[in-house]
Structure 1
Amino acid sequence: MVKRYTQYLLVLCLLISGAASARGLPELTDLIKENSPAVVKINTMERSQAARGGLPPQYQQEIPDIFRHLLEPRRQQRPVASMGSGFIISADGYIVTNNHVVEGADEVTVTLTDRREYEAKVIGTDSRSDLALLKIEADDLKPAQWGDSEELEVGEWVVAIGSPFGLDYSASAGIVSAMGRSIPNESRENYVPFIQTDVAINPGNSGGPLFNLKGQVVGINSQIYTRSGGSIGLSFAIPASLARDVVAQLKDKGRVDRGWLGVGIQDVDRNLAEAMGIGKPAGALVAQVEAGAPAAAAGILAGDVILRFNGQKILEQGDLPHVVGQTRPGSKVPVDLMRKGERMKLEVTVGALPGQEDDTQQASVKPTADVGGRLGLVVDEIPEALKQRWNVDAGVLVKQVVPGKPGAKAGLRSGDIVAQLGFDAVGDLKEYQAVVKELPADELLPIRFFRAGQPTFRTIQIDD
């Protein structure tokens, strides 16, 4: 009798435990079924310059310059395919994905869940946020709904839908692991406060949506941290609050305007906090103020610790670029800081991040066949402040890169400074126009440019 009672009690405990576990896990079937039609698979094709022949690197230094061009590797055109994910944001065919999914692509094809395929037009891209806006002409589209990423909390369940490794419309789930992660891009810029999750994200998920349990898009899957090439439980998504603003600007202007302060910053450790009278490590310590920058005009000095910017707390140095970048150029905002142990409040007029249009009233340039000339680059003279910042004294500033044109295929971005085309130096806008006019077509040519002050050589080819 006692034994049977014990068995009943054990079964009852297991049932109660199972019911409690079931209540603690979300039911995702309806969410995935309802939102999958908004998710698309993106296939891209680009021409790649494949090197053939040439000397091994260890022997190249021994060849005199005058003969080196005879031994350069031969190159041939070879199509390179890539893939990613995206999602529909409007019934008239606008689609959001990652910039790195479509960057340099000659063809972009979008496949819907019902297997319809469409050639997509790239409306605009933004490398700093790794976002791109596409457009297809199609009917009966079901757009996803934006959510508020500011309301996300660590531990909240989220769902990703995409095409990892080309496996169409795969779903995975997990929780938000952290908010506001600072991850600099390859140009050492840091304008995205990433959402960190443990959702299984793999190659092919890039550009796909991250849903909350309400079925709203709260992030765009962008990066993974991995040593194996696959998911190890560290994935990063672009917050919807930032993405919505970027997408709206791309749709309206074909570019993104960001705020600029003009300071070099570092974190505040425990010793610095004590020395500066803050009490605990917090804020962004100003290590350098650029001459003529908005920070200098506002009276910000090296040694100041910025604690709030436009009313938002700055807990660590990575918070400041996120907040400043999302502030519209021309805005006057308050800055709370600590100077020599005393709190101060200043007002700063936010500038435009160099490399962008700083006149927000100027008519926008739409990417058409006539824009940007033979290279598809809208360029201008380099502002003096930018010359000083990057220690560059000649060249032209790239203000816009037209998708699909030679400049885009060469990997140029808005903000780059072109200093050489072919074998001719480019000193100013007049020289640039003269050199471009004489460049031969259908021939690989060297192009030298500066990105964030770092010189880079690549090749460019004009198709006309």
Structure 2
Amino acid sequence: MIAFIDSPTGTTQGGASVLQNDAPLLDAYSQTVVNVAKKVSNSVVQIKVSGKKDPRNRQPNEGQGSGSGFVISSDGFVITNNHVVAGATKISALLQDGREFEAQVIGRDPATDIAVLKIYGDALKAVSFGDSKNLQVGQIAIAIGNPYGFQYTVTAGVISALGRSLRSEGGRLIDDVIQTDASLNPGNSGGPLVNSHGEVIGVNTAVILPAQGLCFAVSSNIAAQVAGQLIMKGRVRRGYLGIGGQLINLTDRIMQYNQLQTKTGIYIVSVEADGVAYNSEFQTGDIIVGFEGKPVSSVDDLHKLLIEDTIGRRSQVTILRNNLAKKITVIPGELK
């Protein structure tokens, strides 16, 4: 049935809704984005790099590249993507207020595509991290960055999916990746993905160019953990199991039967052949729910447990195989 507008207020025939009723909703959404942009933009930096080598011919490229980053402490630590700064001979960071600083690389982690820079300036405004474990599909996601060199561009969308895996430039899988339809373009790399409170929930890292709305960010929990180690040690030493996994929900029946403390686990989608790690007891389809007696409910949990001390040491992993809990032995190697 065709509906006709019969009054200036927007009331339609046929029982259609009053258009004016949508106005407060649109205003609320717009106000959220505006407030977040105001809160976060002063912490976002444009990263300019030069002297990077062309991977095809290994010759220095005298032209400049660019990316994004964000300040995480008032004394000038900045997070960006590893691929933005890797191989650069000169790096600078430009703030929204026009100040430009030479940036020093504190540490890089190709495995998660996270890097930490240091700039020296006064009155630097830092952003805070949100807990990516609490994210839900459908909640608002706002990206701020410098696509194609256009400074402080804001795009908004929703979280499209959680628990994705993304292969880094070094060939390793980055787990617990956030998928969003907030538009990203070259130059957004390293910028923050934030929630409606202006908290960082992810570090924008990749986009599938031929597709529409397929954009990815490293979760804030992983980014914060990695950044802390880079600041303290300049590098990340971590155990490595040689598996690819994603988050999976467990049924109440499975939890009760196996007396599990977690409602989720890590579903193993691939197992690499033993190299630096002994992992031949894993099978595709296993679900990891524990490591060394500690519950594991997410990739974040496992990453936190695969610390430097686990490298080269026999460890017990609790898995579900055919819905039954069992323990297997692994020897983590060191992630290179």
TM-score past 0.5 threshold: yes
Counterpart in 1 of 2:192? 209
Q: 1:253 to 1:18 in 2, by over 3 A?
A: same
In structure 2, what is the Cα distance between the partners aligned to 1:140 and 1:176?
32
- Output aligned runs, 1:268-347, within 5 Å: 283-284=267-268, 290=274, 293-295=277-279, 300=281, 305-310=286-291, 311-313=295-297, 324-327=302-305, 328-331=307-310, 335-338=317-320, 343-346=324-327
Deviation at residue 147 of structure 1 after TM alignment:
1.2
Kept after mapping to 2: 8 A contact 1:148/1:241 = yes
1:104 partner SS: coil
Give the share of equivalent positions with the same residue, in percent.
Answer: 34
Kept after mapping to 2: 8 A contact 1:265/1:287 = no
Q: 1:106 to 1:77 in 2, by over 3 A?
A: closer
Q: Deviations over 1:112-141 (max 9, x none)?
A: 111111111101101111111000111111
In structure 1, what is the Cα distance between the partners aligned to 2:75 and 2:276?
44
In structure 2, what is the Cα distance between the partners aligned to 1:152 and 1:342?
27
Counterpart in 2 of 1:7? 7
In structure 2, what is the Cα distance between the partners aligned to 1:139 and 1:173?
30
2:224 partner SS: helix
Counterpart in 2 of 1:135? 118
In structure 1, what is the Cα distance between the partners aligned to 2:243 and 2:45?
40
1:223 aligns with 2:203: no
In structure 2, what is the Cα distance between the partners aligned to 1:26 and 1:101?
32
- The letter of the residue matching 2:219 is P
- The letter of the residue matching 1:251 is I
In structure 1, the gaps of 5 or more residues are: 1-5, 52-72, 267-281, 355-414, 416-464
- The letter of the residue matching 2:334 is L
2:35 partner SS: helix
Deviation at residue 241 of structure 1 after TM alignment:
0.1
Kept after mapping to 2: 8 A contact 1:304/1:337 = no
**Worse-matched range after superposition: 343-352 or 98-107:** 343-352
Please report the TM-score for the alignment, with normalisation by the length of structure 1.
0.57
Deviation at residue 285 of structure 1 after TM alignment:
7.0
Kept after mapping to 2: 8 A contact 1:154/1:178 = yes
Kept after mapping to 1: 8 A contact 2:112/2:168 = no
In structure 2, what is the Cα distance between the partners aligned to 1:16 and 1:264?
47
Aligned equivalent of 1:239, options 216, 219, 227: 219
Deviation at residue 47 of structure 1 after TM alignment:
5.5
Kept after mapping to 2: 8 A contact 1:309/1:323 = no
Kept after mapping to 2: 8 A contact 1:329/1:350 = no
Q: Deviations over 1:333-384 (max 9, x none)?
A: 7533355x58343265763425xxxxxxxxxxxxxxxxxxxxxxxxxxxxxx
Number of aligned positions between the proteins: 304
TM-align CA RMSD: 3.6
2:51 partner SS: strand
Counterpart in 2 of 1:275? none
> Highest Rg: 1 or 2?
1
Which one scores higher on RCO, CA 8 angstroms, separation ≥ 6? 2
- The letter of the residue matching 1:335 is V
Counterpart in 2 of 1:377? none
In structure 2, what is the Cα distance between the partners aligned to 1:101 and 1:253?
21
Please report the TM-score for the alignment, with normalisation by the length of structure 2.
0.77
Aligned equivalent of 1:35, options 33, 40, 51: 40
In structure 1, what is the Cα distance between the partners aligned to 2:270 and 2:215?
31
Q: Deviations over 1:222-270 (max 9, x none)?
A: 000112xxx721110110100011001101111112222356999xxxx
Deviation at residue 45 of structure 1 after TM alignment:
0.6
Kept after mapping to 2: 8 A contact 1:98/1:131 = yes
Deviation at residue 35 of structure 1 after TM alignment:
1.5
In structure 2, what is the Cα distance between the partners aligned to 1:204 and 1:285?
31
1:139 partner SS: coil
1:192 partner SS: strand
In structure 2, the gaps of 5 or more residues are: 1-5, 13-17, 247-265
Kept after mapping to 1: 8 A contact 2:143/2:192 = yes
Deviation at residue 160 of structure 1 after TM alignment:
1.1
